[in-house]
Homo-oligomer: A and B are copies of this chain.
Amino acid sequence: MKSNPPAKKPTIREVARVAGVSSSTVSHVLSGKRPISPAVCKRVRRVVDRLGYRAHATAMHLAQRRTGQLGLVVREVQSSVTGALLEHMEAACRGAGYKMLLGIAHDDADLAVAYLGEFASGLADGVLNLVPGISVDRAKATCPGVPVLTYLRPHPDSPVLFDKKAATGLMMEHLWGLGHRRIALLWVPDLAPEQDRDPKELGYRDFYAQRGQEVDERLILRLEDGEDLRPMAEAAVDMGATALFATSDLRAAELLRWAHETGRRVPEDLSVAGFDDAPIAAALVPSLTTVPFPLPDLAEKTVRALVDRIEGRPPRAQELLPPRLLIRQSTGKIPPSPTEKRP
């Protein structure tokens, strides 16, 4: 039952006039940045409420030379990984006392750069580049004079990294420990502009190298982005693979389906492992053994590093998060005689 004035927004001056004080006082009542007598304080608040006054954010930002906002630019928000990451990012921003501005660049690098530049030119106090195709250097060049960080790049500017190579090694060890010797890697290359080799591939090769074993190149199955992985899986099994390690849970899910369709039991006949711990991973039958991607930690530490830079605190050393293993039902002991069933 409120009165409904045609909603012209009151300014701080009107509040001041009605309350019979200066606008400076109103400002200080609202910000608490200097002591105000209780009487005046109360009177001002009353007027603020009655008029429905809210400070104009843009004007405040200009005067304070600070927006309290962090600008993030992403390529997409559809994938479950990005979705989850963003929610953690949001939480981290809020936790640090900032609001989050999000730009979605789709596959348009120019649009990404436009968002970065926009954020950097007064909209945000700091900028976070999450677009895989935009390099650390490009992001920095686009945001002169503003703290910019790029998320998760093999570059000193990324405050925290995840050790994907070690993660791959860890999963290999797990499979090896179960008796698997011929482990296939189903691998969709995913290179940041800053690197020339995919750490997952390196981890796989290193694992065998460390054991003095020759890598069977035919077990490294490189997939294109939308490619059907069933022929590859078939080939791997023909080649004697007893375990299939996909570099994402989505791909691993497809493997499970393929296995089911072709009458292979997982993990009795074949082990399948994934990467990421996407939401589906636990829901699949059998549930998927995987390497969880430490999203909350990555988000929190990346944001904190950005905020540290904004607020002038000395940077912490770059962190390399160690991998963990989430062992569920899709991996098991190597079958007794994998290839000698024929007779």
- A: contact size bracket: 35 or more
Which of A94-102, A269-277, A334-342 contacts the other chain?
A94-102
A90–B62 touching, CB < 8 Å: no
A266 at the interface (CB under 8 A from B): no
Q: How far is the CB of A285 from chain B (nearest CB, A)?
A: 7
B145–A7 touching, CB < 8 Å: yes
Complex Cα spacing A326 to B260, Å? 26
A144 at the interface (CB under 8 A from B): yes
A50 at the interface (CB under 8 A from B): no
Contact of A106 among B79, B90, B102, B122 (CB under 8 A): B90
Q: How far is the CB of A225 from chain B (nearest CB, A)?
A: 14
A159 at the interface (CB under 8 A from B): no
Inside 8 A of A257's CB, which chain B residues have their CB? 285
A87–B59 touching, CB < 8 Å: no
Q: How far is the CB of A216 from chain B (nearest CB, A)?
A: 31
Q: How far is the CB of A277 from chain B (nearest CB, A)?
A: 14
A78 at the interface (CB under 8 A from B): yes
A87–B62 touching, CB < 8 Å: no
A104 at the interface (CB under 8 A from B): yes
Q: How far is the CB of A53 from chain B (nearest CB, A)?
A: 10
A104–B87 touching, CB < 8 Å: yes
A323 at the interface (CB under 8 A from B): no
Q: How far is the CB of A27 from chain B (nearest CB, A)?
A: 15
Q: How far is the CB of A77 from chain B (nearest CB, A)?
A: 5
Within 8 A of B (CB), among A54-83: 54-59, 61-62, 67, 76-80, 82-83
Inside 8 A of A120's CB, which chain B residues have their CB? 54
Within 8 A of B (CB), among A1-27: 7-9
B91–A84 touching, CB < 8 Å: no
Q: How far is the CB of A28 from chain B (nearest CB, A)?
A: 19
Contact of A57 among B57, B104, B122 (CB under 8 A): B122
A123–B78 touching, CB < 8 Å: no
3 closest A-B pairs by CB: A7-B145, A78-B83, A102-B102
